[in-house]
Amino acid sequence: MSAQRAKVESFEDLHIFQQARVLVTQVYELTRSGLITKDYALVDRMRRAAISILSNIAEGFERQTDVEFARSLFIAKGSGGELRAQVLIARDQKYVAERDYEAISSCCRRTSAGVYNLISCLRHSRSTPEEAKT
C-alpha cells in the first residue's frame, strides 16, 4: 500500500469522496422538481451514475490494494462521463436551466479531474525509479 494512502484512514477522509458526495446531492436536488421529474428513466440514470461515482471510490478504497483502487477509480471516472452526457440531455430537453446545467457539469468535471489525479498518484506510487524514467 502506498505511503500517501496510509495517511488516509477511511474513504470518507478522501477529498474526492467528499466532492463526489456534493455531486450526488446536486443531482438529487436537480431531479426532485421541475419537468425532469416526469422523465423517470433519465432521472434514474442520472442518480445511478452519480451514485456509481461515489460508490466506486468507496469500494476501491476498501479493497486495500492500489491496483484494485485504481480499477474502481477508472469505473468512477467513466460514470462521471456518463453523468455529464445525461445532464447535457436534460439541458437539451429543456428540463434544467442553463445555470443548473453549468453547476452540475462543472462539479462533475472537478470530480472527474480529482479522480484522475488520484489514479495518477496511485500509478506514480507503484512505479520504481527506473519505470519513472520511461
pLDDT band at 126 (very low <50, low <70, confident <90, very high): low
Q: How far is Cα 45 from Cα 86, in angstroms, rounded to an integer? A: 8
Residue 54: inside a domain: yes
Torsions phi, psi of 54, nearest 5? -60, -45
Residue 1: inside a domain: no
Residue 3: inside a domain: no
- Residue bearing the bigger pLDDT, 96 or 6: 96
Give the DSSP H/E element, type plus range, for residue 131: helix 129-132
> Would the pLDDT of 36 be above 80?
yes
Residue 56: inside a domain: yes
95: buried, middle or exposed (CB in 10 Å: 19+, 13-18, 0-12)? buried
| Domain containing residue 38: CATH number | 1.20.1440.60
Q: How far is Cα 116 from Cα 51, in angstroms, rounded to an integer? A: 18
Which residue range is the domain that position 71 belongs to? 10-128
Residue 84: inside a domain: yes
Residue 5: inside a domain: no
Residue 106: inside a domain: yes
Residue 4: inside a domain: no
Asked whether 119 and 66 are in contact (CB, 8 A), the reply is: no
| pLDDT tens digits, one per residue of 50-77 | 999 999 999 999 998 999 999 999 999 9
| Total domains, the chain | 1
pTM: 0.86
